[in-house]
C-alpha cells in the first residue's frame, strides 16, 4: 500500500487565470452545458451552430460534436431524458466539462498537442489534444480558442500547456 | 503519422481512430441454432488482405463508426464512407 | 561441412580464411520433393532442419521469396523466454528455450544465446499480486521464476528510475533467470547451414504464388521459379500467413500488424538483463555490440508495411526515458518494423490448415523468435507423421470453434 | 603545427573558445566544430575503430564522418557518442575519444590489431561454443560499445514537440535548396526551408562566387528573397525521416546539451535538396589518419579556413577535386595529383602518413584527399518509398520513380554542377516539371578490386575490410542484407553513409554482377542518430498517462487522505495517518459498526436514452434488463462477444426511455466505446443515444448500520426505498440522485450530485457522521468490505476468460430468450466444460495470516497441477479471521473440501467455501 499523494501536483484553483507567457488560460464559468442528441438535431436547433475553427458568439450557441449531437452552451434549461416530439435525448452536463479560453499566441500551444490548423475546417469541435478528448473552437473574436475538457482531465490539460509554455 | 478522414469530421490524425473490424461481417442470428464453426468464423476469421482492404473504424472523438478503404501495404487511403443510411 | 571451432578458426586465420566453404548452397529447385517448407525464416529453416535431423526426411526444399532470415527472424528484438502462465504455453515455450540452450552446439554455429535473465517489473500492489500469481504459475509449470522485491530489481537494473516523480515506481518484479537474448541472424544462418548440410535445398528468391491441388489434396506449389511438387507442405510465413492461406482458399484468425524495434548507438555495458515494464509499454536489453535494443507494443493500424509509425515510437521511446531517465540522452540509431501475425488469443497456430497436405506454423504474434526451434520441431513432427506432437495439439485451429483459446494476456496481463 | 589560415571561413576569430581533447587543452573559434578546431590545431588522431582499435583521423566534415566520435562534457553534463564533425564548439567543452584509453593517440588496446587475422567477419559465429557462450560473452561485451553513458539524469534536458504544416518543404539549404525555396516562395507557396548546418549555403561556401555574385552575397540574397516572399527558414534542423502519408520528422537542434525539438511537419510537397557525399576509395591502409574526403577538405577549407595538411596527395579525378586542388595550392599547400586508376595504391605510415604509394611511385604526403565520386543522399527519398535508378555515368544511385508529392533536385538528384543544379532547382521550386540535366562529367569508376593486396577498409568504424566482403561472398552471404549483417558493414553509427556503396560494389565485383543487381539495403530512419529524449514529447512524469482527478481531491488532500492510482483515478486509498493496513482495517470496522462515507465519484454514469434504449440495454447486458421497472436498479454483467465478463455494475431505469449504467470506475471509457459500437452496428442509432455524464456527477456512498440515520440528518428521505431502487430528489436546492445499492452488504445509499456541489455535500455528510462515530473510508477498506461479502472486482477476481456462469450467475445463459452480446460464446465446448474456474471463497483458521494473493491452489500429486489461484485475500476485521476469494477449477463442486494453497514453494491448507463469508442471509442489508 503506497501513498502516492506527493507524486501528483495538487490541482490548481481553476478560477485563477494561468499565465503561459505568450498566452493565457482563463477558466470560463458557463451557465449551462447541455448534451442534445437526435437524428435531426443539427437542423432543429435554432442556436448558432459552431464547428471548427468556428466563431462562437457571446450568448448561447450549439457546438457540433457529431452528426447527431450538439453541446448547447448557455441554452435555456431543458428537461433531461427523451423528448419524443423532437426525437431528442437531453442531458445536463454543466459540471462534466471544465471550460477554458486560451488567448494570446494560442496556436503554437495547441499545435504541441495535435496536428491542428484553422486552415482545415471540421464539422465537429470534438478532437484529441495531448491525447485528451476536448471540444475546441474559436470565439467570434477570431483569436480566442475555447476548450471544454472533461473535468477530471482539467489539471492534466493545464500541465500540458505549462509544459508547452516552457518551450515557447 | 497517418491522416484518416472521418466521414463527418474530415481529416484527422490517426491517433483519433480505432480499428474496429474488417468490413462485411454480420452477426449470426443467435435466436436460432448457430454452429460452432459459423460462430467462430464470425468472431475470428479474417481476410487480412495484403493490399486493398475494407475495414470498419471508429473516430473516437465523435464515436462515428465508418467504412475505410485503404491499402495495407502503402497505407494509402482510398475512401471513407459513413455506415449511416442518411448522411446529413 | 567444415566444422566450426576455435581450431579451424585459428587455422583459417593463418591462411587468410580462404578455406571456408559456403555456409549453404544456392541450388536450383528440383521438380519434386518429399516435403516443401514455405518460408525461409527461422521457423521454416528449423522445420527443414528437424525434418532432416529428427525424421531423416532430407529431400526437402525451403522456399523463400526474399533472402533467408529476412522476415521477422531478422527484425526482432532477440528475446528468448518462457515466462508463460498456462501449462500449454509454458510447455511450448520452455521447450523452445531448452532447444535454444543446446542450439549452438547442435548446429555448430554460435547463436550467442545469452541467458542474462528477463525481469517483468511490477509497479503497484495489484501488479505485485499478479506477479505472484505469475511466478507461482511458472514454477508449477516447471519454469524457473523468482519473485523479486524492489531492492532485488534495482540491484539487477541499477539505472532504473528511482526518482520520487516517477509515474510508475518499481514495486518488484518477476525474474526468469534462464531467459535472455540470442543473435537473431545467427539462428537463421546456423539452421540454414545445418539443414543444407543434411541435404535440404534452400531456395531463395522463390515466391510461392499458389497451391497445386489434386482430388482436394495439396500436392505442390506454384512459384516464381515454376511448379514444384511435394508429398507434404508446411507453411511458416509469419506476417504473411493470411496471404498464403488465401492461396489455399482459407481464412485464418489472424490480423497482420507492424511491430517496431529500435536500436541505439553502441554503449559500454549499462544493462545486464532484459527488462519489460508493462505500464510503460516498453522493454529493452543491451546487445553484445553495445546498442540498446528496444521494443514495445504493436502499431495500432493493421499493416503489411515493414516500417514504423511515429505514434508508437513516441510511446515506446518515451517509455524508455521514463524507465531509465539517464538513457534519454542516448541517441537512437535505427528503427524498423516487422509484420506479425496476431491471433485473437495471441497464441500460435500449429496444425493442419484445412487443406489436406498443408500444415501451418503461424500466428506467433510478437513472440516468434523465441519459439523458432520449438515451432520448427513441431511442424516437422506434423509433416513427418501427419499427427500432432503433444505440445502442439492445444494450438490447433480447432481451438477457435471449441472456444479453447489460450489467452495469456487475458489470464496474466503479461504482454506478448 | 596549426593548419588554420589567417583569413577566410565562417568562423569568428574574435571569439576564441577553449576546450580540451583527451585532456589536452586546445583553442578554436566560434563557428568551429570540435573536428575543425582539432584539425586546425594539427591533431591527427581523433578516434579509434570499433574492433581493431586502429588510430583514425577525420574522413568527413559533417554527418558522414565515421571515426571522430567523442564523449563531450559541458557544464558537468556528459553526452556519449557525439560526432565531432557536427558538434559545434562551445567554450569549456571537454571532449574525449570513445573506445580509447587513455587517449585516442595512445590506446592500450591498440595491440588488438596484431591479431586481426583471427577477427575476420563473423568469427564469433564459429567459436565460443564450448563449453558455453556465457564464458566468453562478458569479455566480448566489455570490448564492444563506444561511449559510456553517465548514470545521471539531466533535468534540463527536456524535449519539446510540435506539429506544423506548409505547402512546400525544401530539405537542404545548399545552393539548390535555396534556389528551389526562393522559386517556390515567389510562386506564392507557403515554404519552409530546413538546413541541418547552423548556417545556410551548404557547399556554396566552397565557391568564390555563384552566378557572378560573391557567394556570401548570393546566399544573403536568396535568404532575403525567401523571407520577403513569406517563406520560413529553420537552420540547425535535420529532416531525420519521412513517414506514412508524407509526414516529415524534423529535429530542430539547440545549443549543445539541449534536446532537439521534434517537429512533425505536414507538407503538400517535399523538395529534397539534401546534396551528396563523397565515397572513399578502397586501397591498402585507406583508413590511416590523414586520409580525408575531397568534399570534406573543401568544407574545412571553406567553412573553417583550415587546411587538411601541408603535403597533400589528391587522389581523385572529379571536377570537385580540380577546384579543390587550385584552392589548396592558393592557400599554401603542396598538392600532388594522383590518378586513382594506378595500382596498387597504398598509404604509407602509421599514426602519421608519410606517403601515398601509387604503382611504383611514392608520393610523399602527410595527407591524402580521396574521392571515389559523389553519392546522392537519397535516404529520405527511400523512407518515403521512392525508387532508385542506377546511373552509369555518375556511378551512383539516383532518385527514380518518385514517392507522392516529392521531387529531388541538386546534388541529391545527381546534378553536381552548380549552374545546372540551380536551373533545375528553380524550375522544381516553381512547380514546373523538369528533366534531370545530363551530367557533363562522366565518372571513371574506381571500385574495390577483389583479390588486391593489403588491408582495405570498406567500413571504417566497424573495421570491415575488402577481405571480409570476400569472405562473406565465399561463404555465400551474398544477398546484400546478408552481407551487411554478416560483416556488420554499414551498421555502424554512421549507418553506412561512407561504406554502403563500396560494400555493394565490392560484392558486385566479386560476383561479376552489375551493381544495381546487388541492390541496396533498406534506408532506415533516422537519417542521423537523434536522442531518445526527442521522441518523448509531453509524456513524462505525471503526464505519462495522467490520472483523472476527483471533484473532491482538495477535500481529500486537506484531510490528509493517502491518494493513489486506482483504476486510472487518483483516489483515497485510506484516510488516516497511521499504518496503512491498520487504517484500512479500522475503516472497514467502522463501516460495519456505524457508517462510512466513500467517494465513489468515478463510478460510471452512462445514460442510454431513446425509444430503443430498453431493447438495446437488454441486448448489451447478459442479464434481462427489459423487465426492469422505472425507479428500480439491477446488477448485471456486460460480456464481450467472446463471452467473457467485460464489466459488472448496476443499471437503473430512470424512465421508460432512459437508463443509467453504473459501470466500473476504470472502465467508463471502454464501456462507452463498447456501447457506441453496438449502437451503430445492428441497432437503429436514431433511436438510441448514449450520453456519458459520469463527470457531471459526484457520487458519495454512505454505508453501514447507521447509514439511514446519517442521511436523516441531511433531511434525505429514505423511507419506502427498497434495496435496488432509485429516487430523484434534491438537496440544498440541487438535484440529487439517491440510489439504494450495496457493495458492502450493509444498508447503503449512493448520493449523486452535480460535481460543483460535491464539496458542500461532503462537508455536510462528514459533519453529520461525527456524532455517529462514522467517517470517511478509502478504497482499501472498501475492498475488504466487498470481499467479506464475496462481491467481485472485475480484473481482480475475474480474468479475460471468466464467464458469468463461473461467478454463479447461471440463469440468463440457460433461459434468456432474446439475443445478447456474447450469447453464443457461452455454449462452446470450453464454456460447457466441467473444469471451468469458478469463483469460491477460501477459509483458513483464525489466527493464521491471510493467504497470499496470487497463491495457486494445487492438486496433491507429486507433480502438482494448478487448479486456480487466490484473487483477493484480507484479514476480515468483522469476522476476526482471514478471508479469501479464488478462481478454482470446478470450484462449486468442491465446497467444504480442503485444498492446498501453494506460494513460492510453500504450502498451506484452506477450506473451499462460498464466496460470501459474512452474513450470507443478507440480514445486514435491511438492518
pLDDT value of position C61: 98
pLDDT value of position B86: 52
The verdict on residue B35 lying in a domain is: no
How many Å apart are CA C388 and CA D179, to the nearest integer? Answer: 68
User: Which residues on chain D are in Cβ contact (under 8 Å) with C317?
Assistant: 532, 535-536
How close D162 comes to chain A (CA, Å)?
4
Q: Is residue D119's pLDDT more than 70? A: yes
Q: Is residue C415's pLDDT more than 50? A: no
Confidence of residue C326 (pLDDT cuts 50, 70, 90): very high
Please identify among residues 727-786 of chain D the ones whose CB lies closer than 8 Å to any CB of chain C: none
| C270/D531 Cβ within 8 A | no
Which helix or strand (DSSP H or E) is residue C98 part of?
A: helix C87-107
User: Which residues on chain B are in Cβ contact (under 8 Å) with C403?
Assistant: 36
The number of CA neighbours under 13 Å toward the Cβ of D50 is 31
Q: Is residue B44's pLDDT more than 70? A: yes
Query: Quick one: cell of A71?
Result: 453541446
Determine contact: A7 vs chain C, CB below 8 A.
yes
pLDDT value of position D803: 97
pLDDT in tens, D20-69: 999 999 999 999 999 999 999 999 999 999 999 999 999 999 999 999 99
| C303/B72 Cβ within 8 A | yes
Helices (H) and strands (E) in chain C, counts: 11, 18
Which is more confident, D151 or B17?
B17
CATH number of the CATH domain containing B74: 3.30.2270.10
Confidence of residue B88 (pLDDT cuts 50, 70, 90): very low
Counting the structural domains of chain B, the total is: 1
How many Å apart are CA A51 and CA A64, to the nearest integer? Answer: 6
- Choose among A67, A69, A127: nearest Cβ to B16: A127
Find all residues with CB under 8 Å of D115, minimum gap 6, and list them.
Answer: none
Query: Quick one: cell of D739?
Result: 440510489
Q: Best mutation site among B12, B34, B48 for testing chain C: the one with the most C CBs within 10 Å? A: B48
| C401/D542 Cβ within 8 A | no
Residue range C315-341: mean pLDDT, rounded: 95
pLDDT in tens, D779-816: 999 999 999 999 999 999 999 999 999 999 999 999 99
- Choose among A66, A115, A121: nearest Cβ to B64: A66
Q: Is residue C277's pLDDT more than 50? A: yes
The verdict on residue B31 lying in a domain is: no
pLDDT value of position D522: 85
CB-CB contact of C396 with C352 (8 Å): yes
Please identify among residues 675-714 of chain D the ones whose CB lies closer than 8 Å to any CB of chain B: 676-677, 680-682, 685, 690
Q: Is residue A65's pLDDT more than 50? A: yes
Minimum CA–CA partner of C127 in chain A: A1
CB-CB contact of C314 with B14 (8 Å): no
Q: Is residue C173's pLDDT more than 50? A: yes
Residue range D392-410: mean pLDDT, rounded: 96
pLDDT in tens, D507-566: 999 999 999 999 888 899 999 999 999 999 888 899 999 999 999 999 999 999 999 999
Confidence of residue A48 (pLDDT cuts 50, 70, 90): very high
How close A92 comes to chain D (CA, Å)?
8
pLDDT in tens, D623-673: 999 999 999 999 999 999 999 999 999 999 999 999 999 999 999 999 999
Q: Is residue C413's pLDDT more than 50? A: no
Max Cα-Cα span within chain A = 54
CB-CB contact of C291 with D170 (8 Å): no
Q: C366-375, D40-49, D129-138, D168-177: lowest mean pLDDT where?
A: D129-138
The verdict on residue B41 lying in a domain is: no
Report how far apart, in Å, the C-alpha atoms of D753 and of each of B41, C139, D291, D693 are. 46, 50, 78, 12
Q: Is residue D1's pLDDT more than 70? A: no
How many Å apart are CA D474 and CA D451, to the nearest integer? Answer: 12
Q: Is residue C412's pLDDT more than 60? A: no
Average model confidence (pLDDT) across chain D: 96
How many Å apart are CA B59 and CA B67, to the nearest integer? Answer: 11
Structural domains for chain A: 21-166 (3.30.1360.120)
pLDDT in tens, D270-323: 999 999 999 999 999 999 999 999 999 999 999 999 999 999 999 999 999 999
pLDDT in tens, D671-728: 999 999 999 999 999 999 999 999 999 999 999 999 999 999 999 999 999 999 999 9
Query: Quick one: cell of B61?
Result: 472523438
pLDDT value of position B87: 43
The verdict on residue B7 lying in a domain is: yes
How many Å apart are CA D771 and CA C322, to the nearest integer? Answer: 48
Q: What ipTM did this prediction achieve?
A: 0.96
All partners of chain A with 3 or more CB pairs under 8 angstroms: B, C, D
* Domain coverage including residue B86: 1-26+49-88
pLDDT value of position B71: 97
User: Which residues on chain A are in Cβ contact (under 8 Å) with B8?
Assistant: 66-67, 123-124
User: Which residues on chain A are in Cβ contact (under 8 Å) with C165?
Assistant: 7
pLDDT value of position B31: 94
User: Which residues on chain C are in Cβ contact (under 8 Å) with B19?
Assistant: 300-302
Residue range D400-429: mean pLDDT, rounded: 96
Q: Quickly count: other Cβ atoms within 10 Å of residue D130's Cβ.
A: 12
Residue where the block lists cell 479560453: A101
Please identify among residues 1-60 of chain D the ones whose CB lies closer than 8 Å to any CB of chain A: none
* DSSP at D437: P
Query: Quick one: cell of D770?
Result: 461525527
| C254/B46 Cβ within 8 A | yes
Percent with pLDDT over 70 in chain B:
95
Q: Could you tell me which of C132, C130, C129, C145 has the C-alpha nearest to residue C81?
A: C145
CB-CB contact of C224 with C209 (8 Å): yes
Confidence of residue D109 (pLDDT cuts 50, 70, 90): very high
Minimum CA–CA partner of D147 in chain C: C267
| D819/B63 Cβ within 8 A | no
pLDDT value of position D539: 86
Whether the link from the prior residue into D102 is cis, omega within 30° of 0, is yes
pLDDT in tens, A87-131: 999 999 999 999 999 999 999 999 999 999 999 999 999 999 999
CB-CB contact of A163 with B49 (8 Å): no
| A116/D549 Cβ within 8 A | no
Amino acid at each position: 500500500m503506497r501513498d502516492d499523494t506527493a507524486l501528483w501536483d495538487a490541482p490548481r484553483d481553476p478560477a485563477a487565470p494561468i499565465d503561459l507567457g505568450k498566452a493565457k488560460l482563463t477558466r470560463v464559468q458557463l451557465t449551462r452545458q447541455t448534451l442534445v442528441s437526435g437524428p435531426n438535431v443539427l437542423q432543429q436547433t435554432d442556436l448558432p451552430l459552431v464547428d471548427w475553427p468556428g466563431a462562437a458568439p457571446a450568448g448561447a450557441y450549439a457546438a457540433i460534436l457529431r452528426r447527431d449531437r450538439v453541446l448547447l452552451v448557455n441554452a435555456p434549461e431543458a428537461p433531461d431524458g427523451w423528448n419524443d416530439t423532437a426525437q431528442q435525448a437531453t442531458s445536463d452536463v454543466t459540471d462534466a466539462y471544465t471550460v477554458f479560453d486560451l488567448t494570446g499566441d494560442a496556436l503554437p500551444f495547441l499545435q504541441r498537442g495535435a496536428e491542428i490548423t484553422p486552415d482545415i475546417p471540421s464539422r465537429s469541435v470534438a478532437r484529441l489534444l495531448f491525447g485528451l478528448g476536448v471540444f475546441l473552437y474559436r470565439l467570434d473574436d477570431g483569436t480566442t480558442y475555447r476548450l471544454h475538457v472533461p473535468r477530471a482531465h482539467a489539471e492534466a490539460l493545464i500541465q500540458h500547456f505549462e509544459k508547452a509554455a516552457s518551450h515557447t | 503519422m497517418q491522416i484518416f478522414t472521418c466521414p463527418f469530421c474530415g481529416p484527422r490524425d490517426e491517433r483519433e481512430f480505432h480499428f474496429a473490424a474488417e468490413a462485411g461481417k454480420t452477426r449470426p442470428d443467435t435466436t436460432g441454432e448457430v454452429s460452432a464453426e459459423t460462430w467462430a468464423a464470425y468472431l475470428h476469421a479474417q481476410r487480412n488482405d495484403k493490399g486493398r482492404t475494407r475495414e470498419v473504424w471508429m473516430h473516437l472523438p465523435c464515436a462515428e463508426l465508418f467504412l475505410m478503404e485503404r491499402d495495407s501495404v502503402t497505407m494509402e487511403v482510398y475512401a471513407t464512407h459513413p455506415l449511416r443510411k442518411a448522411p446529413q | 561441412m567444415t566444422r566450426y571451432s576455435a581450431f579451424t578458426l585459428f587455422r583459417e586465420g593463418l591462411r587468410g580464411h580462404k578455406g571456408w566453404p559456403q555456409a549453404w548452397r544456392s541450388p536450383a529447385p528440383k521438380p519434386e520433393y518429399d516435403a516443401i517448407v514455405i518460408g525461409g525464416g527461422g521457423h521454416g529453416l528449423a522445420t527443414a532442419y528437424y525434418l532432416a535431423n529428427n525424421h531423416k526426411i532430407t529431400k526437402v526444399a525451403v522456399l523463400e521469396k526474399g533472402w533467408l532470415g529476412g522476415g521477422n527472424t531478422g527484425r526482432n528484438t532477440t528475446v528468448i523466454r518462457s515466462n508463460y502462465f498456462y501449462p500449454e504455453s509454458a510447455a511450448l515455450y520452455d521447450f523452445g528455450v531448452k532447444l535454444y540452450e543446446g542450439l549452438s552446439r547442435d548446429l555448430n554455429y554460435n547463436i550467442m544465446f545469452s541467458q542474462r535473465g528477463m525481469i517483468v517489473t511490477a509497479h503497484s500492489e495489484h501488479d505485485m499480486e499478479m506477479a505472484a500469481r505469475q511466478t507461482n504459475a511458472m514454477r508449477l509449470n516447471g519454469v524457473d521464476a523468482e519473485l523479486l522485491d524492489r531492492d532485488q530489481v534495482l540491484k539487477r537494473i541499477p539505472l532504473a528510475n528511482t526518482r520520487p516523480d516517477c509515474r510508475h515506481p518499481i514495486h518488484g518484479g518477476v525474474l526468469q533467470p534462464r531467459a535472455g537474448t540470442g543473435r537473431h541472424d545467427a539462428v537463421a544462418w546456423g539452421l540454414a547451414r545445418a539443414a543444407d548440410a543434411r541435404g535440404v535445398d534452400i531456395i531463395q528468391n522463390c515466391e510461392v504464388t499458389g497451391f497445386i491441388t489434386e482430388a482436394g489434396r495439396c500436392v505442390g506449389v506454384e512459384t516464381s521459379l515454376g511448379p514444384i511438387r511435394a508429398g507434404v507442405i508446411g507453411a511458416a510465413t509469419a506476417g504473411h500467413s493470411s496471404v498464403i492461406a488465401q492461396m489455399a482458399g482459407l481464412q485464418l484468425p489472424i490480423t497482420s500488424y507492424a511491430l517496431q524495434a529500435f536500436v541505439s548507438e553502441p554503449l559500454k555495458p549499462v544493462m545486464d538483463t532484459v527488462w519489460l515494464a508493462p505500464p510503460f509499454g516498453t522493454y529493452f536489453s543491451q546487445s553484445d555490440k553495445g546498442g540498446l535494443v528496444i521494443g514495445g507494443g504493436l502499431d495500432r493500424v493493421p499493416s503489411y508495411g515493414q516500417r514504423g509509425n511515429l505514434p508508437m515510437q513516441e510511446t515506446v521511446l518515451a517509455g524508455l526515458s521514463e524507465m531509465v531517465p539517464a538513457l534519454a540522452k542516448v541517441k537512437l540509431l535505427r528503427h524498423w518494423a516487422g509484420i506479425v501475425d496476431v491471433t485473437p488469443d495471441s497464441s500460435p497456430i500449429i496444425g493442419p490448415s484445412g487443406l489436406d497436405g498443408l500444415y501451418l506454423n503461424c500466428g506467433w504474434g510478437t513472440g516468434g523468435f523465441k519459439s523458432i526451434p520449438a515451432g520448427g520441431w513441431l511442424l516437422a513432427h506434423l509433416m513427418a507423421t501427419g499427427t500432432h506432437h503433444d505440445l502442439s495439439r492445444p494450438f490447433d485451429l480447432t481451438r477457435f470453434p471449441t472456444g479453447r483459446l489460450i489467452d495469456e494476456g487475458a489470464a496474466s496481463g503479461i504482454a506478448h | 603545427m596549426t593548419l588554420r589560415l589567417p583569413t577566410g571561413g565562417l568562423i569568428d576569430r574574435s571569439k576564441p573558445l577553449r576546450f580540451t581533447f583527451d585532456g589536452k587543452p586546445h583553442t578554436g573559434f566560434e563557428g568551429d566544430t570540435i573536428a575543425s578546431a582539432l584539425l586546425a590545431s594539427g591533431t591527427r588522431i581523433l578516434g579509434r575503430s570499433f574492433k581493431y582499435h586502429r588510430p583514425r583521423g577525420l574522413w568527413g566534415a559533417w554527418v558522414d564522418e565515421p571515426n571522430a566520435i567523442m564523449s563531450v562534457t559541458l557544464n558537468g553534463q556528459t553526452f556519449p557518442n557525439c560526432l565531432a564533425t557536427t558538434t559545434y564548439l562551445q567554450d569549456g567543452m571537454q571532449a574525449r575519444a570513445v573506445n580509447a584509453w587513455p587517449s585516442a593517440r595512445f590506446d592500450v588496446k591498440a595491440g588488438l590489431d596484431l591479431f586481426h587475422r583471427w577477427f575476420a567477419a563473423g568469427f564469433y559465429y564459429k567459436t565460443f561454443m564450448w563449453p558455453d557462450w556465457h564464458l566468453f560473452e562478458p569479455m566480448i561485451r566489455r570490448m564492444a560499445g563506444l561511449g559510456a553513458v553517465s548514470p545521471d539524469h539531466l533535468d534540463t534536458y527536456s524535449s519539446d514537440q510540435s506539429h506544423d504544416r506548409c505547402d512546400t518543404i525544401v530539405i537542404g539549404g545548399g545552393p539548390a535548396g535555396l534556389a528551389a525555396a526562393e522559386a517556390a516562395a515567389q510562386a506564392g507557396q507557403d515554404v519552409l526551408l530546413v538546413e541541418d548546418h547552423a548556417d545556410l549555403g551548404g557547399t556554396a561556401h566552397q565557391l568564390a562566387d555563384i552566378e557572378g555574385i560573391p557567394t556570401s552575397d548570393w546566399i544573403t540574397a536568396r535568404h532575403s528573397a525567401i523571407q520577403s516572399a513569406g517563406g520560413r527558414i529553420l537552420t540547425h534542423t535535420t529532416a531525420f525521416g519521412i513517414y506514412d502519408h508524407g509526414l516529415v520528422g524534423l529535429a530542430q537542434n539547440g545549443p549543445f546539451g539541449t534536446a532537439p525539438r521534434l517537429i512533425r511537419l505536414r507538407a503538400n510537397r517535399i523538395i529534397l535538396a539534401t546534396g551528396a557525399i563523397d565515397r572513399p576509395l578502397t586501397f591498402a591502409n585507406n583508413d590511416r589518419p590523414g586520409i580525408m574526403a575531397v568534399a570534406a577538405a573543401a568544407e574545412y577549407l571553406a567553412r573553417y579556413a583550415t587546411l587538411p595538411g601541408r603535403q597533400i596527395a589528391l587522389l581523385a579525378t572529379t571536377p570537385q577535386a580540380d577546384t579543390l586542388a587550385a584552392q589548396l595550392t592558393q592557400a599554401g599547400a603542396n598538392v600532388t595529383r594522383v590518378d586513382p586508376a594506378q595500382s596498387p595504391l597504398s598509404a604509407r605510415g602509421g599514426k602519421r602518413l608519410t606517403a601515398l604509394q601509387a604503382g611504383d611511385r611514392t608520393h610523399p604526403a602527410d595527407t591524402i584527399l580521396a574521392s571515389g565520386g559523389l553519392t546522392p543522399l537519397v535516404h529520405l527519398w527511400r523512407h518515403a518509398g521512392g525508387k532508385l535508378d542506377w546511373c552509369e555515368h555518375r556511378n551512383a544511385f539516383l532518385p527514380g520513380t518518385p514517392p507522392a508529392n516529392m521531387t529531388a533536385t541538386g546534388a541529391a538528384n545527381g546534378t553536381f554542377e552548380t549552374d545546372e543544379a540551380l536551373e533545375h532547382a528553380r524550375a522544381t521550386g516553381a512547380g514546373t516539371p523538369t528533366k534531370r540535366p545530363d551530367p557533363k562529367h562522366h565518372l571513371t569508376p574506381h571500385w574495390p578490386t577483389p583479390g588486391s593486396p593489403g588491408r582495405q577498409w570498406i567500413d571504417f568504424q566497424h573495421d570491415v575490410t575488402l577481405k571480409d566482403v570476400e569472405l562473406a561472398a565465399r561463404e555465400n552471404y551474398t544477398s546484400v542484407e546478408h552481407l551487411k549483417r554478416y560483416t556488420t558493414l554499414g551498421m555502424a553509427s554512421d549507418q553506412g553513409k561512407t561504406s554502403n556503396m563500396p560494400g555493394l560494389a565490392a560484392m558486385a565485383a566479386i560476383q561479376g554482377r552489375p551493381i544495381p543487381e546487388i541492390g541496396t539495403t533498406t534506408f532506415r530512419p533516422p537519417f542521423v542518430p537523434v536522442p531518445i529524449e526527442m521522441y518523448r514529447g509531453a509524456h513524462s512524469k505525471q503526464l505519462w498517462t495522467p490520472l483523472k482527478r476527483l471533484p473532491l481531491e482538495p477535500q481529500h488532500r486537506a484531510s490528509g487522505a493517502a491518494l493513489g492510482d486506482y483504476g486510472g483515478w487518483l483516489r483515497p486509498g485510506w484516510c488516516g495517518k497511521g499504518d496503512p493496513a491498520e487504517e484500512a482495517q479500522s475503516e472497514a470496522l467502522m463501516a460495519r459498526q456505524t457508517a462510512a462515507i466513500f467517494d465513489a465519484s468515478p463510478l460510471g454514469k452512462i445514460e442510454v436514452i431513446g425509444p430503443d434504449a430498453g431493447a438495446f440495454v437488454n441486448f448489451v447486458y447478459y442479464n434481462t434488463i427489459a423487465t426492469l421497472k422505472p425507479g428500480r436498479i439491477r446488477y448485471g454483467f456486460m460480456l464481450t462477444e467472446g463471452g467473457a465478463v467485460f464489466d459488472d455494475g448496476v443499471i437503473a431505469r430512470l424512465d421508460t426511455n432512459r437508463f443509467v449504467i453504473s459501470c466500473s470506475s476504470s472502465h467508463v471509457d471502454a464501456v462507452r466505446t463498447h456501447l457506441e459500437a453496438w449502437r451503430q452496428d445492428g441497432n437503429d442509432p436514431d433511436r438510441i443515444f448514449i450520453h456519458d455524464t459520469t463527470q457531471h456527477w459526484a457520487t458519495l456512498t454512505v454505508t453501514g448500520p447507521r447509514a439511514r440515520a446519517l442521511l436523516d440528518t441531511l433531511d434525505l428521505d429514505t423511507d419506502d426505498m427498497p434495496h435496488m431502487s432509485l429516487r430523484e430528489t434534491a438537496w440544498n436546492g440541487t438535484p440529487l440522485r439517491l440510489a439504494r445499492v450495496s457493495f458492502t452488504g450493509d444498508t447503503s445509499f449512493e448520493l449523486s450530485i452535480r460535481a460543483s456541489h460535491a464539496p458542500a455535500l461532503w462537508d455536510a455528510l462528514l459533519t453529520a457522521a461525527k456524532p455517529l462515530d462514522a467517517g470517511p473510508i478509502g478504497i482499501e477498506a472498501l475492498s475488504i468490505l466487498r470481499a467479506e461479502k464475496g462481491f467481485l472486482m472485475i480484473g481482480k477476481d475475474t480474468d479475460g476468460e471468466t464467464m458469468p456462469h463461473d461467478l454463479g450467475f447461471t440463469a440468463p445463459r440457460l433461459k434468456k430468450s432474446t439475443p445478447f452480446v456474447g450469447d453464443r460464446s457461452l455454449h462452446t465446448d470450453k464454456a460447457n466444460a466441467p473444469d471451468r474456474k469458478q469463483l469460491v471463497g477460501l477459509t483458513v483458521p483464525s489466527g493464521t495470516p491471510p493467504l497470499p494473493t496470487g497463491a495457486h491452489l494445487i492438486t496433491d500429486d507429486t507433480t502438482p497441477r494448478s487448479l486456480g489461484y487466490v484473487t483477493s485475500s484480507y484479514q476480515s476485521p468483522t469476522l476476526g479471521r482471514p478471508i479469501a476469494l479464488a478462481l478454482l477449477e470446478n470450484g462449486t463442486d468442491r465446497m467444504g473440501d480442503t485444498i492446498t494453497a501453494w506460494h513460492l514453494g510453500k504450502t498451506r491448507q484452506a477450506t473451499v467455501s462460498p464466496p460470501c463469508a459474512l452474513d450470507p442471509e443478507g440480514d445486514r442489508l435491511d438492518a
